Structure 1
Amino acid sequence: MKRFLKKLAVTAALLPLVVGLTMSVASADKIRIALAETPSDELAAFFVALDRAKANGLDYEWTAFSDEELAIQAVLSGQMDIGFGTPYAAMQRSKAPVRIIFQLSKLKFFPVTTKKYEKLEDLNGEPILLHSRGGGTDSIANVIEDKVGIKFGERSYVPGSANRVVALIAGQADATIIDLSNKNKIMRQHGDKFNVLPMFEVDASDEALFANLDWIKANEADVQILVNALLGVWRDMNDDPTIISKETDPEGPIGQLPKEILDGLDDFYKEAVEGGLYDPDGGGRKAAAADMEWYSQAGQLEGDAASLNIEDFWYLAPLDAAKK
């Protein structure tokens, strides 16, 4: 939920600057996974899926990149096999045969304001605090303007949902867009001072798993093991969010996180499931269609959504097989 729609402005020359964590020495026999962040509570479900996949014979290693663009570039350059992100602009502009195979999370951000606003229409002409110019919340604001028929006033930028929450509480802003966990936190602690404005439903992807199509087809068995594990965890998690903490390996990367984060896993995943963050069907065609609409409206895909072919961006065979 942190790196939606950043511009792909990183070249292969920047890759040595990556701040990364690698599980083991590189091996041609291992699937190389490019994470877009270091292990966190948001990645706990993914690591549970990796553990299940490993139990079924998948051999892998992961590298945590410091930025989503770096993870995308690493897959485009062939340095990594599978990556995290929503590389729609990169797929369209590079013409690389890169395809999404699984929706990891939906785009769930929330307009939070002081009590002076009650609906999105009230923000017409009003200033708003966003993450970064040209970034995810900037694009969300663009789509809000288009769908609701308003025009925001001055846009100011403060990176990090938590930092924008601080700005709200300090009276330095009256309106912002923040992620699910920070929305829940501010409303628990200061619900008498702020409103969460009603937002239209979004099924588009925030984070997805993608790879080069040629590599996918050359490694079908391993890809299928991984997608099977992901779908199983996502369905189990929607039935019982506590499955993530129960199956987290205490010796693994998530198990080594601070105790306060581990103690909050059940609440985090309960709120995320209730908020619709994780699709128990892994996204599939519904998510692909939603992505075409959202990313074209946000200016990250060229062409009308109706003219875009989802098979140019998604490879659905592994997910279809997993559902069977």
Structure 2
Amino acid sequence: MTVIGFLKKTVAVPVALAMTLGMAQADTIRIALAETPSDEMAAFFVALERAKANGLDYEWTAFSDEELAIQAVLSGQMDIGFGTPYAAMQKSKAPLRIIFQLSKLKFFPVTSKKYETLADLDGEPILLHSRGGGTDSIANVIEEKVGMKFGERSYVPGSSNRVVALVAGQAEATILDLSNTNKIMEQHPDMFNVLEMFEVEASDEALFANLDWIQANEEDVQIFVDALYTTWRDMNADPTIISKETNPDGPIGQLPPEILGSLDDFYTAAVKGGLYDPEGGGMKAAQADMEWYSEAGQLEGDPASLNIDDFWYMAPLEAAKAK
């Protein structure tokens, strides 16, 4: 049974309980994760440790997908969330704003050998991360650019879980992150193809919150963004910093030894592949997002006419850079 912890302890909470956590101490930031902790989130937890050392109190809840994390922030049950909630930003009356780009959309279509090009997937089922999330938007843009239409879309959070589905023959096409694409092709080169994909610079995961809450908690938000900014810059300079600073008693430290032992390889490949922007995204990421998510059908209107200030709040990131 999972345990709920507060203040400076990380927590893992079942989704059924997560939606009931409406109350928390006012000086504790409540973070909504879009999936359970994994090697892909080790850098984020290193940043949390740095923020905690500078006085930030926090708790986290792992939701089963991005939609639930977004809804938890919209409802005020959580303060900060993981995701790219552009559709919710445009349609909701709540002033959600992104404050930091966590990762770019560096994903790859991986299929069984029966498919050789993206066009071959016309009418074929595909396994994705979450409805309305980054892989869903990639599928939408593939359809637009290639002039085809996927068949049934199924959703399994976590690239590693979708690898398991592929290897078990439960799916024949999915979209995977850089690490798991490399892993499956190293282990099963004769079983799968990586289809040629166009370049993408938009955000996959970003940190967002209600603007009213951000401004009411300016000091805590700045501590958090400062920690993210220094971690992302240090990681790009030396990817091994993540394994060195991972707390052995934290959620990442409790992962299986084979995952912990591959953190250096994971972050070295991720940094080389351009997954993490050392500047935290900012205006460059925001402009790329306007174009990408408009084409993906999650934003309405001409990208050139969209006001970036309606989607991003740059002040904490700019303050972090100034330091």
Same fold, TM-score > 0.5, yes or no: yes
* Cα separation, 2, equivalents of 1:75 and 1:174: 34
The CA deviation at 1:314 is 0.2
Give the structure 1 partner of residue 91 of structure 2: 93
What SS does the corresponding residue of 2:255 show, helix, strand or coil?
coil
The CA deviation at 1:145 is 2.7
The CA deviation at 1:142 is 2.2
Give the structure 1 partner of residue 16 of structure 2: 17
After superposition, residues 23-102 of structure 1 pair within 5 angstroms as: 26-102=24-100
Provide the aligned C-alpha RMSD in A: 2.8
Give the structure 1 partner of residue 148 of structure 2: 151
Could you tell me which runs of 5 or more consecutive residues in structure 2 were left unpaired when the two chains were aligned.
Answer: 1-13
* Cα separation, 1, equivalents of 2:224 and 2:38: 20
Give the structure 2 partner of residue 265 of structure 1: 263
Classify 1:219/1:118 alpha carbon distance in 2 versus 1 (closer, same or farther; 3 Å). Answer: same
2:143–2:150: 8 Å Cα contact kept in structure 1? no
The CA deviation at 1:61 is 2.3
After superposition, residues 131-150 of structure 1 pair within 5 angstroms as: 131=128, 134-136=131-133, 137-148=135-146, 150=147
2:115–2:121: 8 Å Cα contact kept in structure 1? no
After superposition, residues 188-203 of structure 1 pair within 5 angstroms as: 188-203=186-201
1:128–1:152: 8 Å Cα contact kept in structure 2? no
The CA deviation at 1:213 is 0.9
Could you tell me which runs of 5 or more consecutive residues in structure 1 were left unpaired when the two chains were aligned.
Answer: 1-14
The CA deviation at 1:307 is 1.7
Relative to the length of structure 2, the TM-score reads 0.84
Which amino acid in 2 is paired with 1:217? Q
1:129–1:164: 8 Å Cα contact kept in structure 2? no
Classify 1:248/1:146 alpha carbon distance in 2 versus 1 (closer, same or farther; 3 Å). Answer: same
* Cα separation, 2, equivalents of 1:252 and 1:163: 22
* Cα separation, 1, equivalents of 2:292 and 2:180: 23
1:47–1:248: 8 Å Cα contact kept in structure 2? yes
The CA deviation at 1:132 is 7.1
The CA deviation at 1:37 is 2.3
* Cα separation, 2, equivalents of 1:80 and 1:170: 36
Relative to the length of structure 1, the TM-score reads 0.83
After superposition, residues 1-324 of structure 1 pair within 5 angstroms as: 17-18=16-17, 26-114=24-112, 119-120=117-118, 122-123=119-120, 125=122, 127-131=124-128, 134-136=131-133, 137-148=135-146, 150-152=147-149, 154-155=151-152, 157=154, 159=156, 161-162=159-160, 164-165=162-163, 175-324=173-322
CA deviation vs aligned residue, 1:129-187 (integer Å, no higher than 9, x gap): 23279554343222123224x31464453635456545655777664422222211121
* Cα separation, 1, equivalents of 2:279 and 2:208: 16
- Range with bigger deviation, 45-54 or 266-275: 266-275
Identity %: 75
The CA deviation at 1:273 is 1.4
2:127–2:171: 8 Å Cα contact kept in structure 1? no
* Cα separation, 2, equivalents of 1:180 and 1:297: 23
The CA deviation at 1:71 is 2.0
The CA deviation at 1:214 is 1.3
